[in-house]
Amino acid sequence: MKTEACQALADETRWHEWLQDGLPESLRAHADQCADCAAIIRDLEGLGQGFGAMAAETAAWADSFDLTESVLQASEPRSGRAWGPWLAGALAAAAAILFAVWPASSGFEVDSEAGASWRGRTLKPGVTQVFAPGRLLASLGRAQVRGDDVQANLPRNSALDIEGPGAFSGLVGTVRFHSTQPFVVRGSTYRLEAAGQIEVAEGDEEIAKMVSRKGVLGSAAVVALVYAGWGSLQSGSSEVRGQAPVVLAIDAAGKVSSSPLDAKAGSVGRGRPGVAVSASGGQALRAAGAAGQDEAAEPSSGAYWSEDEQALRFAIQGEVIDSVSGEPVSDFTVRAQAKSLQGYGPEHHELSRTRKAQGKFRLVGLSAGTWRITARAKGYAPVSQVVDLQDVGTDPYVVLPLSSGARLSGQVVDARKRPVAEARVGLVACFGAKGHSLKTCDLQTTGADGRFTLQGVPADAAFAVRAEHPRHGFVVQPGLRRSEGESEHIVLELSGRLRVYGEVTRGPDKTPQPGVRVVNGDESVSTLTDAQGAYTMIVPLENRAKVHVVVPGTHGADVKFGSYPERRSSEAVRWVQAEGYVAEVQKDFWLAVDSARLFGQITDDAGAPVGGVSLRLWNTTGWHKGRRGHQTFPERTTTDAQGRYSIEGVPAQAGYTMAYISEDGTKTDLGYVNVKSSQPVQADFQIGRGRIRGRFVDSQSGEPFRLSRQGCGSMFGAERLGPQGYFVAPRCLEDGRFEFEQLPPGDYRLHAKMGWLESTVKFEATDVSVGPGQVQNEVLVPVSGAQADEWTFRVLDDSGRFVPSLYLRMLAKNRSYTSSLGLGSDGLVKVTINRSFDEVFIDAQGYESAKVRLKGREPGALIELRMRRVKSEGP
Amino acid sequence: MAIRSAEPIATLDPEEARWVKAMQAGDRAAFARLIRQYQSVILAYGLSMLGDEALARDLCQEVLVTFWRDRGAYRHQGKLRAYLLTIARHRGLAQLKRQRSSERLQRATAELPMVPVRTPLEEVQTMQQRLRLRSAIQDLPPDRAEVIQLRFVLGLPVAEIAEIVGVPVGTVKSRIGRGLAGLRQELSHED
């Protein structure tokens, strides 16, 4: 049996079973009878704990994200079923800023924020960018699409490039676009501009409304079928327009023609290889027979044709000056907003390519229309000007005078009128979409008294101020108006309230739990979940706004599952304007199907119960359907006078770590415990980790005894006495001192492990007893034999360079001992060597060994060595 | 010594099968539910595989988008988790292949100070040593590191690992065994 057990233990293919299920007692009983078995068990236990900790770390990280929204968005289908009837054409979705591309290689859209990055790329702010793995496909409303199945909402004035040798032949599947704005689809042989819907399909006659050919059959270069509205085709020399239903065509020579279309909608292109292009509902449908004109890069003045965007682009020039002195302002930003029916759109970051020499700038890449240009600089009030872009001849020139504006002082207070320090205050426009502030904006942080002063507030114009604090909420004060130089005090009150909402579910199916009580930390606010298990409550937004869900325990008493809202930073908490300005955070509770009572006793090393011990239990393992469900721990408890503890409602099918918190707040792990079912689980622990500090002394004189590094670290150690004994090596400090840390309570013998050094140095075995949490200082370990000296080497090669990666080799009792040497920053190598060695060898790869005779040298003296390179053999 | 109660391998439970079916029929709400169910395990897998939080997030998103796009491809055999992790594995490996050359150079090969002989039990007590466990896993041959991560960090049953990695159960077991032996040696480093 013994042999079998030993063999079984040594069989590494079975280790993982034991890591999972625990070592069978039958094997454990034999553990100390065979060589190495105790070590294997010990090591596996260590690994098990390490894995547990890693799993917990990883799980905690993974649980901190919710990608649901972004995945849903990225996989958003642009439903194809509504495409057939042309009457849908006029109902094309409103111009979407969102651009979702879905090629076979699974790209997804990223709506970037300033400073964000994706796979190492820095994203341009405010630009919708479309990626496939490793490939940037589109930016700034321009897309190059490769793939089988592409569905896109095109932003205003965007261009879509279809790559491939010609037309849409590179595509296999379907391309669909819809946009109420003019956009361009460009192939290598033609360009098609349209508003409304376009459909590119292969051989799908049902939905084909326009067919494109590039002279493969017959002479047609482009054929368009217009079902609804009207369309036009244009080549270099002529243009033809037609009222639906009509067929428009351009032949290879560029000649355009039209003919009435009969009811056989799909007849054109039927039965031929190729791709159908259809368009409907367009106000202007134009296909040109040739590729886009070659245009020079943006000229120094005037509108230009942007080859990138396949559109006419305008520029604005101007300068930013100080309104009082007339001097140019050097550090400023200028941004442009396009005017639309809804008012001014978002500020175009990308287009603000300014040239700041002497306050001058030129914004390029603007489309035709009305733009509002805003200049900002620190210490000045922002100033705007509206510019109409129509004239293609020259750039409009605008002068933006910045005045220092009015001053606004005030104070930020919380709901109880107490001043709030560290709140951020500024003009509303200075707060970006996700809290990023503009560089040239004056954003203040309140001092301890909550006060702030904003310079450069717009004078004689309405403005709004915003204050926010991650733990007190935010407030916007609109409709402020100040005259130049006027100053007035305002008070901004932060609501200090947090809306917590979420759902309470149970079990793997996440069954909603109606009627469960949810309370905040001091139970001043409480609510019940509704029929769907959802709850919402507004709690004071204090430093640590706790939320608990209260469920009946197995022993009558209620069990409180508690958690802080995990996301408390200003970024993660959403500010919403509901019932006043409140912060909002989601907190879902997911309860286990079964829970058990965990109880046990805490004893000290001697087995005596320890009362009043502060314990902490938290969930470390336990994956339920791929997810660690029970985020509701940690639980804290304290032992009673008999050292007993009991925790109700511990979710089953999970593993937990128990730790105790000592009075100084340090946490020490006691061990792991598994809760498998609703059966009560008993887990007893011993507390206390001790520490031994001491030094080596000469057994004769009692003077400090200097050991070589090898002598201390490898050979000397503490052996735990008892059946589960093992050997712990110390941390070796300077001057012959050593330290053992994190020792479980017990009796230890400090002595030498077997080894060659025993012959030269003899440790007197010293027994030390360590109680729970006890620190044994100044343990003296007498040593006799040869002390070590510290030597310093400088090792250079033939050419006078330092030799890296040195090894020290010593010979003792027919055995050589090698250790690596660290090169100091000064190029010197310091090493302690036992005096019993008369000579040592210095090795390095690629060099001949160097023998160093130590005997007769002054200890501590610098030894210079030259090492010779090994002559390479052969070529 | 037991570290976790691993759930036995099973086929899709009926409740989940319903969700998957609904999702395959194009139900976005069902998809959202499945995302919530599985995102953390994919994230965790991504993190242990790629060692980079941002990459892990990207990978997770990619996997789930693929799952939606090719939703017809999933047949109700085996566990959905294994299916998703198989996708994650393929994409992750491709990602690693692209990055390996540069990343290998960058990985800090911090020279640890002469670490005294301790038992692994003592080793894992401290943070630094947990990092050592991580790096020791990374230093294992990739096929062993992979199964060790799947088994002990993600806590997957052996049968499921076999499905994900695409090798027989016996091979997974022997890789885990050799991996554990390697870790033990690495962490004990008695010299």
CA count, 13 A, side-chain hemisphere, B45: 34
CA distance B175 to B152: 13
Nearest to A53 among B4, B61, B130 (CB): B130
Q: What share of chain A has pLDDT > 70, as a percent?
A: 54
CA distance B79 to chain A (A): 10
Write down the ipTM of this complex: 0.78
CA distance A861 to A863: 6
Give backbone dihedrals phi and psi of A638, rounded to 5 degrees, phi first: -135, 145
Nearest CA in chain A to B171: A13
Decide if B68 and A75 are in contact by the 8 Å CB cutoff: yes
- Give the per-residue pLDDT at A858: 81
Report how far apart, in Å, the C-alpha atoms of A463 and of each of A354, A382, A460, A629 are: 26, 10, 9, 48
What residues of chain B lie within 8 A of the CB of A509, using their CB? 15
Which residues are CB-contacts of B66 (< 8 A; sequence separation ≥ 6)? A106, B87, B91
pLDDT-derived band at A380, boundaries 50, 70, 90: confident
pLDDT-derived band at A54, boundaries 50, 70, 90: confident
Scan for tokens 């008369």, then name that residue.
A838
Neighbours of A139 (CB within 10 A): 19
Residue A830: DSSP 8-state: E
What is the token pair recorded at A655? 């593993």
CA distance A113 to A116: 5
Q: Indicate if the pLDDT at residue A836 is higher than 60.
A: yes
- Give the per-residue pLDDT at B3: 38
- Strand-strand pairing, A117-118 and A121-122: antiparallel
CA distance A452 to A441: 15
Decide if A15 and B177 are in contact by the 8 Å CB cutoff: yes
CA count, 13 A, side-chain hemisphere, A274: 23
User: Hey, what amino acid is at A870?
Assistant: V
Q: B176 vs A92, which has greater pLDDT? A: B176
pLDDT one-digit tens code per residue, A780-816: 888 887 777 778 888 888 777 777 777 777 776 666 6
Neighbours of A720 (CB within 10 A): 18
Mean pLDDT of A522-526: 80
Decide if A509 and B65 are in contact by the 8 Å CB cutoff: no
3-state secondary structure of A117: strand
Cβ(A820)–Cβ(A813) below 8 Å = no
Q: Indicate if the pLDDT at residue A872 is higher than 60.
A: no
Give backbone dihedrals phi and psi of A511, rounded to 5 degrees, phi first: -65, 125
Scan for tokens 């965790």, then name that residue.
B44
pLDDT one-digit tens code per residue, A162-215: 433 222 322 222 344 434 444 444 433 334 444 444 444 333 322 223 333 222
**What H or E segment, with its residue span, contains residue A348?**
strand A343-348
Look at the alpha carbons of A399, A403, A408, A412 in this order and tell me if their dihedral is positive or negative.
positive
- Strand-strand pairing, A614-621 and A581-586: unpaired
- For chain A, count helices (H), then strands (E): 6, 67
CA distance A428 to A789: 70
Q: Which B residues 35-94 touch A at CB under 8 Å?
A: 35-41, 43-44, 47-48, 53-55, 57-58, 60-62, 64-66, 68-69, 81, 91, 94
CA distance A799 to A636: 66
Beta bridge partners, A312, equal: A305
pLDDT-derived band at A672, boundaries 50, 70, 90: confident
Question: Is the CB of B32 inside 8 Å of chain A's CB atoms?
Answer: yes
For an interface test with B, the pick among A9, A11, A14, A16 (most B C-beta atoms closer than 10 Å) comes out as: A16
Q: Indicate if the pLDDT at residue B16 is higher than 50.
A: yes
CA distance A792 to A857: 12
Q: Which B residues 84-123 touch A at CB under 8 Å?
A: 91, 94-95, 98, 111, 114, 116-123
Q: What share of chain B has pLDDT > 70, as a percent?
A: 71
Neighbours of A832 (CB within 10 A): 17
Packing angle, helices B158-165 and B80-106, rounded to 10: 70
Burial of A453 (0-12, 13-18, 19+ CB in 10 A): middle
Nearest to A12 among B64, B116, B180 (CB): B180
Which residues are CB-contacts of B81 (< 8 A; sequence separation ≥ 6)? A625, A626, B38, B41, B156, B160
CA distance B22 to A511: 18
Cβ(A728)–Cβ(B122) below 8 Å = yes
What is the token pair recorded at A644? 């007993």
- Give the per-residue pLDDT at A166: 29
Nearest CA in chain A to B112: A822
CA distance A840 to A820: 13
Q: A95 vs A602, which has greater pLDDT? A: A602
Cβ(A605)–Cβ(A746) below 8 Å = yes
Mean of per-residue pLDDT scores for chain B: 72
Lowest mean pLDDT among A33-37, A781-785, B19-23: A33-37
Q: Which letter, b or e, does each residue of A642-678 get, where b requires 16 or more Cβ atoms within 10 Å of its Cβ?
A: ebebebbbbbbbbbbbbbbebeeeeeebbebbbbeee
- Give the per-residue pLDDT at A455: 79
Which residues are CB-contacts of B37 (< 8 A; sequence separation ≥ 6)? A625, A626, A627, B16
- Give the per-residue pLDDT at A181: 41
Scan for tokens 């004109």, then name that residue.
A293
- Give the per-residue pLDDT at A634: 54
Scan for tokens 């010979």, then name that residue.
A811
What is the token pair recorded at A503? 């759902």
Q: Indicate if the pLDDT at residue A863 is higher than 60.
A: yes
- Give the per-residue pLDDT at B92: 84
Packing angle, helices B169-188 and B127-139, rounded to 10: 130
Mean pLDDT of B54-79: 79
- Give the per-residue pLDDT at A291: 25
Nearest to A627 among B41, B61, B98 (CB): B41
CA distance B3 to A49: 7
Decide if B152 and A628 are in contact by the 8 Å CB cutoff: no
Which residues are CB-contacts of A464 (< 8 A; sequence separation ≥ 6)? A427, A428, A476, A477, A478, A479, A480
Residue B152: DSSP 8-state: I
Give the CA diameter of chain A.
118
What is the token pair recorded at A175? 């391309």
pLDDT one-digit tens code per residue, A723-771: 656 667 787 776 678 888 777 777 888 887 655 444 567 888 888 888 7
Nearest to A676 among B5, B61, B123 (CB): B5
Which residue in A216, A395, A191 sits closest to A298, CA to CA? A395
Which residues are CB-contacts of A15 (< 8 A; sequence separation ≥ 6)? A40, A44, B176, B177, B180, B181
Decide if A45 and B121 are in contact by the 8 Å CB cutoff: yes
pLDDT-derived band at A240, boundaries 50, 70, 90: low
Residue A72: DSSP 8-state: H
CA distance A8 to A677: 30
CA distance B147 to B156: 9
Q: What share of chain A has pLDDT > 90, as a percent?
A: 0
What residues of chain B lie within 8 A of the CB of A66, using their CB? 36, 39
Which residues are CB-contacts of A390 (< 8 A; sequence separation ≥ 6)? A368
- Give the per-residue pLDDT at B180: 87
pLDDT-derived band at B9, boundaries 50, 70, 90: very low
* Greatest mean pLDDT among A297-311, A545-559, A831-845: A831-845
**What H or E segment, with its residue span, contains residue B139?**
helix B127-139
CA distance A367 to A184: 14
Q: A744 vs A393, which has greater pLDDT? A: A744
Report how far apart, in Å, the C-alpha atoms of A704 and of each of A231, A457, A576, A708, A830 are: 100, 72, 68, 13, 20
Q: Indicate if the pLDDT at residue A478 is higher than 80.
A: no
Beta bridge partners, A796, equal: A802, A866
Q: A411 vs A770, which has greater pLDDT? A: A411
What residues of chain A lie within 8 A of the CB of B124, using their CB? 46-47, 49-50, 53
**What value, to the nearest 5°, has the Cα angle with vertex A651 and ends A648 and A657?**
85
What residues of chain B lie within 8 A of the CB of A19, using their CB? 1-3, 152, 180
Cβ(B84)–Cβ(B78) below 8 Å = no
Decide if A55 and B152 are in contact by the 8 Å CB cutoff: yes
Mean pLDDT of A829-851: 81
pLDDT-derived band at A237, boundaries 50, 70, 90: low
- Give the per-residue pLDDT at A44: 76
Beta bridge partners, A526, equal: A519
What residues of chain B lie within 8 A of the CB of A668, using their CB? none
Neighbours of A830 (CB within 10 A): 14
CA distance A284 to chain B (A): 34
- Give the per-residue pLDDT at A42: 74
Q: Indicate if the pLDDT at residue A299 is higher than 80.
A: no
Residue A627: DSSP 8-state: B
Decide if B116 and A717 are in contact by the 8 Å CB cutoff: yes
CA distance A390 to chain B (A): 43
- Strand-strand pairing, A788-797 and A862-867: parallel
Q: Indicate if the pLDDT at residue A264 is higher than 50.
A: no
Decide if B58 and A655 are in contact by the 8 Å CB cutoff: no
Which residue in A98, A102, A95 sits closest to A179, CA to CA? A95
Report how far apart, in Å, the C-alpha atoms of A210 and of each of A90, A151, A589, B139 are: 16, 18, 54, 60
Q: A841 vs A271, which has greater pLDDT? A: A841
Q: Indicate if the pLDDT at residue A3 is higher than 50.
A: yes
What residues of chain A lie within 8 A of the CB of B15, using their CB? 508-509
What is the token pair recorded at A49? 């704990």
pLDDT-derived band at A373, boundaries 50, 70, 90: confident
Q: Indicate if the pLDDT at residue A572 is higher than 50.
A: no
What residues of chain B lie within 8 A of the CB of A717, using their CB? 116-117
pLDDT-derived band at B41, boundaries 50, 70, 90: confident
CA distance B138 to chain A (A): 13
CA distance A722 to chain B (A): 16
What is the token pair recorded at A41? 């068990």
Q: A503 vs A557, which has greater pLDDT? A: A503
CA A501 to chain centre: 24
- Give the per-residue pLDDT at A215: 27
CA distance A157 to chain B (A): 28
Give the CA diameter of chain B.
61
User: Hey, what amino acid is at A153?
Assistant: N
Question: Is the CB of B25 inside 8 Å of chain A's CB atoms?
Answer: no
Q: Is A534 left (phi over 0), alpha (psi -120 to 50) or beta?
A: beta
pLDDT one-digit tens code per residue, B71-110: 877 776 667 888 888 888 888 887 777 665 444 433 322 2
Nearest to A72 among B32, B69, B187 (CB): B32
Q: Indicate if the pLDDT at residue A48 is higher than 60.
A: yes
Q: A717 vs A546, which has greater pLDDT? A: A717
What is the token pair recorded at A472? 């007190």
Lowest mean pLDDT among A33-42, A148-157, A458-467, A866-875: A148-157
Question: Is the CB of B24 inside 8 Å of chain A's CB atoms?
Answer: no
